[in-house]
Amino acid sequence: MPAVSSSATRILGIDPGSRLTGFGVVDFEGDRARFVDAGVIKTGNGELSERLEVIFDATRELINRHQPDTLAVEQVFVSRNAGSALKLGAARSAAICASFGSGIALAEYSPREIKRAVTGTGAADKAQVQQMMRMLLSLDTLPQADAADALAVAVCHANASRLSGALAAAARRA
């Protein structure tokens, strides 16, 4: 994998789950997006704490390997039952904790913001997100669903950063 150029921004997107945690690494330079890596962290069938260790270690490894500028994490959907919310909150926390001490920025987006950023609608289904990621990043094959969601978090953050950058530039000109 070529090193990221100095003007590009590298984003590690994470779609946390206690069983399957998607990840996606994308470089952005202006309007161009370049795929770097994506996949799914499978946490196995152990105790929750063992699964948290898998997420924590794997996320830390991804940060060390890819040196992203920002970790962008999908916010958790809270309208589930309390038991699911507890595990999902724990999985998300493990990914976030893996970034502490590394000096990288942290950004969080709701599932609705992410879908809207990558498909134009907050109600897109998983298959639409997979198709969009394949097209946008010129992938040969459809990314796995959780990996596609993680790539979408990265794209959502790049869009949000560009927008806030453009607004700041407009404010300076005004």
**Which residues are marked as active site?**
15, 74, 146
Site string for a second copy, 109-148 (x = CB under 8 A): ----------------------------------------
97 vs 139, which CB is nearer to a second copy? 97
Q: Where are the beta strands (DSSP E) in the chain?
A: 9-15, 20-29, 32-42, 70-74, 105-109
Provide Rg for the chain, Cα atoms.
16
Taking the complex as a whole, the smallest distance from the CB of residue 33 to a second copy amounts, in Å, to: 25
Taking the complex as a whole, the smallest distance from the CB of residue 129 to a second copy amounts, in Å, to: 23
71 vs 150, which CB is nearer to a second copy? 71
| Euclidean distance between the first and the last CA atom of the chain, given in angstroms as a whole number | 41
- Residue 72 in contact with a second copy, rule: CB under 8 A: no
Spatial CA neighbour of 150 closest among 59, 52, 46? 59
CB atoms under 10 Å from CB of 131, counted, come to: 16
Contact present, 56 and 94 (Cβ < 8 Å): yes
Taking the complex as a whole, the smallest distance from the CB of residue 86 to a second copy amounts, in Å, to: 4
**Alpha-carbon gap, residue 132 to 127, rounded angstroms:** 9
The residue within the footprint of a second copy, chosen from 5, 57, 61, 165 (CB under 8 A), is 57
For residue 139 the two structure tokens come to 């992938």
- Residue 49 in contact with a second copy, rule: CB under 8 A: yes
Site string for a second copy, 74-113 (x = CB under 8 A): --x-xxxxxxxxxxxxxxxxx-xxx-x-----x-x-----
106 vs 169, which CB is nearer to a second copy? 106
**Alpha-carbon gap, residue 14 to 29, rounded angstroms:** 20
Residues forming contacts to a second copy in the complex (CB under 8 A) are 49, 52-53, 56-57, 76, 78-94, 96-98, 100, 106, 108
